[in-house]
Amino acid sequence: MLHKLTNRHKQTKTEQSKEEIELNNIPRHVAIIMDGNGRWANQRGLPRVAGHRAGMKVVKEITKAADEIGVKILTLYAFSTENWKRPREEVDYLMKLPQEYLATELDELNQRNVQVRLLGSEEGLPPHTLQAVKEAVEKTRHNTGLILNFALNYGSRSEIVQMVKTVAAKVQRHELSVDDIDEQLVSQFLQTRGLPDPDLLIRTKEIRLSNFMLWQLAYTELWFADVYWPDFTKKHFEEAIHDFQQRARRYGSI
Ligand SMILES: Cc1cc(N2CCCCCC2)n2ncc(-c3ccc(F)cc3)c2n1
């Protein structure tokens, strides 16, 4: 897409980014760590769960924006393996959000040809949570549009440990030899098998990876927004895409 002539000097950074997004250079896989929901609520004298609810509205907005701009895979870090350490009432609330989200959004996601996937361990998820997610995965299995990949009960180190155990057992059973083990084989034994690595990682508020897709993010462009997730907007998303397009990706070469 040709750049539109713009009066850049008069526009804000986010206004510039929207007009200058090249539709032929959209990151195929965008991953987002949606941080700061509890602190957003605390700042407003609200209970932490109000921040999670506000955060879910932003999930709907950004999922739509990603789909419209042509992102192929959107991975959202909804609940980490470390999140089980939070207060019981907060965890119980969080574990109800998948079914709440799907109850209102699944029909529209299906109409938009979106395929819902789960990244993470099913073990340990409450039955009501797992049932809602599995039903959404099944109902959207044949869709060929945006892959909406929810990282739920996900931790990268446990994913890597599980991969090592699986590969080691196959070597022990002589189903694999040590010489067969290379980066491609490792990727095939991770929970993200079949998906390309993220091209762009967006994170709100904190500048760290928090045990998220550590293997997969090896060559991913990182973009941080100094806002809490509930305050993240479509304009922030477009700015991240625009900045991604300004970076020449070298994958380690010069
Ligand atoms: C645990 C949790 C928390 C959760 N938050 C809202 C967004 C901010 C981050 C934390 C709170 N959201 N938002 C959507 C989901 C979800 C998960 C799976 C699924 F199939 C459909 C929707 C979700 N799940």
- Domain borders along the chain are 29-155+196-245
68-103 pLDDT, tens digit each: 999 999 999 999 999 999 999 999 999 999 999 999
Higher pLDDT pick, 171 / 3 = 171
Q: How far apart are CA 185 and CA 140, in angstroms?
A: 28
27-61 pLDDT, tens digit each: 999 999 999 999 999 999 999 999 999 999 999 99
Is the CB–ligand 1 distance for residue 151 below 6 Å? Answer: no
Average pLDDT on 161-177 reads 98
Is the CB–ligand 1 distance for residue 38 below 6 Å? Answer: no
- Best mutation site among 150, 210, 232 for ligand 1 pocket (most ligand atoms within 8 Å of CB): 150
> What is the three-class DSSP state of 221?
strand
Catalytic annotation present for 197: no
Q: Is 121 annotated as a binding residue?
A: no
Reported as type and span, the H/E element at residue 44 is none
213-254 pLDDT, tens digit each: 999 999 999 999 999 999 999 999 999 999 999 996 666 677
Is the CB–ligand 1 distance for residue 242 below 6 Å? Answer: no
Query: Which position among 42, 83, 110, 143 bears the catalytic label?
Result: 83
* Residue 129: both structure tokens together: 């949570």
Instruction: Check if the beta carbon of residue 98 is closer than 8 Å to that of residue 152.
Output: yes
Catalytic annotation present for 83: yes
At 19 the pLDDT is 57
The H-assigned helical ranges of the chain are: 13-19, 37-43, 48-69, 88-94, 97-111, 127-139, 156-172, 183-188, 234-246
Q: Is 229 annotated as a binding residue?
A: no
At 146 the pLDDT is 98
The CATH architecture annotation of domain 29-155+196-245 reads 3-Layer(aba) Sandwich (3.40)
